[in-house]
Chains A and B, each alone.
Chain A
Amino acid sequence: MPRFLTLLVLLAAPIAAAGVRVEICEEGVLRSGWPATEPAATESFAEDAFGLFELPLKYVATGVRGDRASPTLVRASATITLPPGRHRLLLRSRGAARLSVAGRMVLETPFDQPRQFAVGNAGELPVEEQETFIELDAGVRFLPPGNREALGEIAWEDAAPREVVLETLIGGIEPKSKRPFRPELGETIVAVSLAGTGEWRLLAPSALQVPYTDAGWAAYTAERRERFAVMNAAARAARRAQHAGYWEKRRAAAHAWLSSTPEVPVPTLAAGFAAHNPVDHFIAARIAQAAAQETPRVRSGGVDFFREIKPILEAHCYSCHQGAKVKGELRLDTRAAALHGGAGDGPAIAPGLPKASALFQRITSSDPEEVMPAKGDRLSPRDVALIERWIAEGAVWPEFPPGRRSPTPLADDLTFLRRVSLDTVGVVPSEAEIAGFLSDPAATRRARAIERLLADPRGADHQMGYWLDVLAENPNLINPTLNNTGPFRWWLHESLIDHKPLDLLVTELIRQEGSERFGGPAGFGIASQNDVPAAAKGIILAGAFLGVEMKCARCHDAPTHAAKQSELFQLAAMLEKKPLKVPATSSVPLDHLRLGGRMPLIEVTLAPGTTVAPAWPFARFCDEATAAAIAEEPDNSRDHLAALITAPQNERFAQVMVNRLWQRLMGRGLVETVGDWEKSSPTHPELLRWLGRELVRNGYDLRAIERIILGSHAYQRAADPAMTEPSPLFVAPAPRRIGAEQFVDSLFAATGKPFAVEPVNLDLDSVRTIENALDLGRATRAWMLASTSNERDRPSLMLPRIQAVADVMEVFGWRAARPDASSGIRENAANVLQPALLSNGTMMTWLTRLSDDHGLTRLALEEQSPERLVERLFLRFFTRPPTAEEANTYIAALAPGYAGRVVSRTDPAPAPPVRRKYVAWSNHMKSEANSLRLEEETAARRGDAPTARLDSDWRRRFEDVIWALLNAPEWTVIL
């Protein structure tokens, strides 16, 4: 066991200043060993104690996360006064560190990351090494994974102050691969135990007392993290301010554009409709218009187009005959187009005359060259008969599905509060939020709730899952080879916290500046094992921000979309800032396609090997000259592209963005296919344009549009529980399926059970270089998780607590890995795995078990009647009081023994810490690592011990009630 004893007599030196000054030195630092001359500080900040675990983040460009140099030297210094005596000092660090007192080195730790790498990168670090540690007094924190430590004793002669300097090197370069390690501080601390005491605290120049125990450290780091968040926000703001001049010009240009183009008139309110704001005027006008148009065409008793015909067309025809680009120039997605027919085939539908309708001829043809569908199975006789009868009856094709045509009244207040809370901050309202809402005057409480929620930082958390899907963020914790990106989630989250205008946000994404591996938008540019990453990114950008579907154009011209492969490669070349050569792996051999069968459905007009120059393929949205006028650096093709996408002249961008928001809040987009505008037309084109202009008018702050939509009568209406699909006329919301992140976050919030999972990191002790191991940190909300991606099937690489939560999230539609872009609309049908995992899964065991740290344990300990307890449970879970039947059932279950339920109201003493060995990549090949991980898995499955403060019989019954309430179907929909 290493034990450094340093016996020194230290002389006092006069120095000033209170607090610990932490200096960050990125220049003049050696790759290994200590520099001969003290490097100058490139940044500094004040700390209160010798306790370092994170640095303020470094921001570059407009305020995106950047990388620090590898290695970086961190120097912390302070003037310390201790009482005279022989005191013990403890130094811990992740990188090499040394500690000097009054100019003399007293303690040091080695820089042994390269050695750890040599063994640990193969997963062969002996687990037994963890048995080597310095034995300290009871209660002191155990050495965290990957940290080094040294202990010494110093003789402090008098009470005079002395200068203490701690230096550490973080990051560093692995000598063979020359790749950097993650620049992490781990737990870099100096702790002191004064003579004659067995207690340790962080060394600090002030009166601040931070006990170096688990609880002391947890409180200290929690407080620091909040401070760092404030410092980081200020650093971002300062960076952004440096570019304020340019962005003010952009705002001015946007307003100039607005005033030079005609406004969209807001219709007068149709008679008999309620309205809160202009949105309702547009909606009412459309309902009235639809009603006026369709009355004569509706015919009863015949074939129902929406129920019986449209599903056939969708299943067999729409892949080629829907939208702007179709096969044989035939569209079958509107009645007018079907009546007109395709090229040379006559009308697809001749109302009343099936035999004269090309559609009917084609589906009944016996000629293999003629019959439709061209590929796959023929239509069933039943479907053919239905189409024949439908045409014979006159091919009745109403514009909207039958059903409700009059708006529902407003939802009641609490239903509204639940809905708006889930839609903005992603969790159900707390008891306090409910009480606050109800105590506001009835006339203004909804508007006030909207304002409160829009200002709530949890709003950023709520939006994360959506944008990670759409932008296909796909980090992998280890060895990223599956089309993985960097973890640009952190940039995105900070952008949402800062309410960054959308044009700036998209510009930053396209510029791809900052850190690749530590959360900058540069991480977006990566696509591991992809032959043309920029083409993959072009697909994402086009779908996300322009509603242009380009997936097919990755290897050939899209058969039923406008996109040509050359266009995607032009876009990709803009992202690459240079001409791009099309690799053979990004094409389809044509001879392969022409083998047998009818005309191939796809065309390849871009030969492999062709070089494609950067160019803007979407002149239809916005003229290329626009960019030259507004781009910050018009010669930089990324900037050029960003300007073209986000320019006010490009109305498509603003409309796509408001449409995405509308879809999320209203359950259906004004353009239904939010990522592919070729496949459906807007139901409310004027409203869409009006909202798009409002976004521009409000400086691209999406919250302004959110405020309008949430405030509308249309949003606040009572849901029609019978509706399974949202009404395209927005007469009433349909119940919407809750999102995976909303659900998991709400379950933890409502029960008050801490969301405690492993660090999202398989390289805890930081032995791997940055390209092969990511640290995604401590997850506090569901979106922060990532795939545990145990492709190696090794138990030791399992993260059982994360997996328990991820299992639930995945069955509710969360994508653990996102190798491709998603439209943003998740598959959300009910499936049997959802209730299965809720009734019996590990996460549910945690939520149901009344442990000491469970919020419902605290609730049960409060003095209140069983009636009140049940009422509060319902408020916390369902944002409503129980019905009489519900109240009776649960009060009856809890009443027996209720008076005697409390065994003790005092908090239990914290259990003494137990030294546990850790499992990480560094030791995962060792058998013992597997055994340790399986123990962790068992512990996770078992859950925390139940509290002893409640009578165990009553506690079990209360747990059963909680189980039932957590399994209520009501949880799974937003009403």
Chain B
Amino acid sequence: MNRRDFLTRSAAIATLAASPRALAAAAAAALPKGRAEHCIFLWLGGGMAQIDTFDPKRRGNTKSKPMLAGSDYAAIDTAVPGVRYTEHLARTAQLAEHVTAVRTVNHTLGIEHALATNYVHTGRPVSGSTVYPSLGSVVAHQRGAADERVPAYMVIGYPSVSRGPGFLGAKHGYIHLVDTESGPAGFTPPEGIDAARMAERRRLLEPLQKTGTPDSALSDYAEAQREALRLAGPGFMRHFKLAEEPAALRQSYGGEFGQRCLLARRLVQAGVRFIEVSHNLNFINGAGWDTHNAGQLNQHVLIRELDAALASLITDLRDKGLLDKTLIALGTEFGRPGQFDSGGGRGHQSAAFSLLLAGGGLRHRGAYGTTDEFSNKPVEHGVSVPDFHATIYAALGINPAKELVNASRPVPITDGGKPIAALFG
């Protein structure tokens, strides 16, 4: 009996059972599928303290002896009845109907920054045999740029392997920039090289670009070079001219982080699919979001900066009719406990922390999931990092269970992640 006969007979025996493939297809149909076209991923490196931001609890006190666990600030009502944020998120609180603070994210990857950062970017533990792609690279791979004249994936922040394309390969990597004014390295002429001099340089390059044979290694490079020179031209670089934006709008976004968010909105308009915006220019309190000890003292300034940037981004996208097609996600490698450390700051905690989703056409609810007394553990609706990623992918119309191929090995986009169903439909 050959295999075909066997299969035919088994099928005949199990006439009433749907084929497994059909079952899988049915399951796929049940997966929520969003309509978002772009994603802005705000990265708060260091570990944002959820109890001082999106998951407030009763007030603690660092001045008493012993110190009392709890939020360091008062909580305020938001636009969503029953959902409260910290007082320093006053503007975002007014927009809570466009926001879901997912309060029960958790992982067990430990509390070392680089390792956890890698996990929240890739959704997989570090492996010695596979380098997994980041969220941004997967989205770039699956959906490409919305406009072929711009890259699919950009990072406003520093390069790192966690943000990289892993096994998807360099062409699904990011273009990064640190300085919003000058744009990404490679696309802005260096200081002191004006248009005339650039034109002269290109003229001098011409004799060397005649590479003879078409479709050769040389001509491929010459072709890429023409493309790069075009991108370096005014068309692409125009997107980095924040000065074109109304002064009042720029101001409302706030400091450098806000300006990065404003730039991200412009890049969305230009057709960039995924933009990661990093917020840890630790000028405000030295530690950035890594608020150990005295790092706590100025944490409220950071939170207010986040508030201004996030609220402006939401309203700006809404005003331009882009909010439903632009998912804002906020990432951080872990959270912090409700208890204080001996220096009045907070240590690391990965057992429960808050990540945020906003816009993107999701059915928002201000907050999702509940944690215990001091936000140390989820009480209901725990959300794993793969679940959080799956929600982002689903919002962008990407099946989180789809298999990518690493060499010959099938690798599902998320490690069994399930989108948060309550946010769809």
> Roughly how many angstroms separate A218 CA and B123 CA in the complex, as a whole number?
48
A483 contacts which of B128, B186, B223, B295 (Cβ < 8 Å)? B128
Query: How many residues does chain A have at the interface if contact means C-beta atoms less than 8 Å apart?
Result: 112
Which residues in A have some Cβ–Cβ distance to B below 8 Å?
122, 124, 318-320, 328, 343-346, 367-370, 375-376, 472, 476, 479, 481-483, 527, 529-530, 533, 535-536, 539, 551-552, 554, 559-560, 592, 596-598, 601, 721-724, 734-737, 787-796, 798, 803-804, 806-807, 810-811, 813, 816-817, 819-821, 827, 829-837, 839-842, 844-845, 885-886, 889-890, 893, 925-927, 930-931, 937, 941-943, 956, 960-961, 963-965, 967-970, 972-973
A-B contact count (CB 8 A): 285
Interchain Cβ contacts under 8 Å between A and B, 6 examples: A539-B128, A551-B407, A596-B24, A735-B218, A820-B127, A832-B227
Q: Closest Cβ of chain B: how far from A769's Cβ, in Å?
A: 15
The A-contacting residues of B in range 81-113, CB under 8 angstroms, are 110, 112-113
Q: A960-B201, A964-B201, A967-B205 are in contact. Are A836 and B128 (CB under 8 A)?
A: no
Residues of B within 8 A of A (CB): 1-4, 7, 11, 19-24, 27, 43, 45-46, 110, 112-115, 117-118, 125-131, 157-162, 169-171, 175, 178, 185-191, 197, 200-201, 204-205, 207-209, 211-213, 215-225, 227-229, 231-232, 278-283, 286-288, 290, 292-293, 295, 403, 405, 407-410, 416
Given A793-B158, A840-B190, A968-B205, A536-B21 contact (CB < 8 Å): no
- List chain A residues, Cβ under 8 A from B220: 829-830
Asked if B115 contacts A811 (CB within 8 A), the reply is: no
Given contacts A737-B217, A845-B190, contact A831 B197 (CB under 8 A): no
Q: Is the CB of B405 within 8 A of A735?
A: no
Question: How many angstroms between the C-alpha atoms of A831 and B169 in the bound complex?
Answer: 12
CA distance A535 to B112 in the complex (A): 24
The closest CB in chain A to the CB of B286 belongs to A925
Residue in B closest to A787 when the chains form the complex, CB atoms: B161
| Cβ A122 vs Cβ B292 within 8 A | yes
Contact A930–B229 (Cβ < 8 Å):
no
Name the residue of chain A whose CB is nearest to the CB of B6. Answer: A344
Chain B hits for A930, CB < 8 A: 281-283
Write out the residue numbers on chain A whose beta carbons fall within 8 Å of the beta carbon of B115: 481-482, 529
Closest to B278 in A: A793
Residues of B within 8 A of A368 (CB): 19-22
Q: Closest approach, in angstroms, between the C-beta of A813 and any C-beta of chain B?
A: 7
Apart from A482-B161, A793-B157, A803-B159, 4 more pairs, CB < 8 Å: A367-B7, A737-B217, A833-B175, A930-B281
Are B129 and A536 in contact (CB-based, < 8 A)?
yes
Given known contacts A345-B4, A840-B185, is B204 in contact with A961 (CB within 8 Å)?
A: yes
A313 to chain B, nearest CB (A): 13
Please pick, from A792, A817, A968, A973, the residue contacting B161 in the complex, using a CB distance under 8 A.
A817
Is B204 touching A734 in the complex (CB atoms < 8 A)?
A: no
| Minimum CB–CB distance for B414 against chain A, Å | 14
Within 8 Å by CB of A963, from B188, B201, B222, lies B201
User: When the two chains form their complex, are residues A328 and B292 in contact, meaning their CB atoms are under 8 A apart?
Assistant: no
Instruction: Point out the residues of chain A lying under 8 angstroms from B129, CB to CB.
Output: 536, 539, 551, 554, 820-821
Taking CB atoms, residues of chain A closer than 8 Å to B283 are: 927, 930-931
Q: Please name all residues of chain A whose beta carbon is closer than 8 Å to the beta carbon of B293 when the two chains form the complex.
A: 122
Query: Which of B11, B117, B190: most chain A Cβ within 10 A?
Result: B190
A821 / chain B contacts, CB cutoff of 8 Å = 129
The 3 closest A-B pairs by CB, nearest first: A536-B128, A344-B2, A836-B186
Interface residue from B43, B114, B159, B204 paired with A481 (Cβ < 8 Å): B114
Known: A596-B23, A830-B220, A973-B221. A960 touches B185 (CB 8 A): no
- Chain B minimum-CB-distance residue to A878: B208
**Contact indicator B280/A972 (Cβ below 8 Å):** no
In the complex where A598-B21, A722-B213, A833-B175 touch, is A483 in contact with B292 (Cβ < 8 A)? no
Nearest opposing residue in chain A for B115, CB measure: A481
- Give every chain A residue within 8 A of B279 (Cβ-Cβ): 793
In contact, B186 and A596 (Cβ under 8 angstroms)? no
Q: Is the CB of B224 within 8 A of A792?
A: no
Whether A375 and B229, one on each chain, are in contact in the complex, defined by CB atoms closer than 8 angstroms, is: no
Q: Which of B160, B204, B231, B409 contacts A836 (CB 8 A)?
A: B231
Q: Which of B207, B228, B281, B290 contacts A839 (CB 8 A)?
A: B228
Residue in A527, A794, A830, A942 whose CB lies within 8 Å of B280: A794
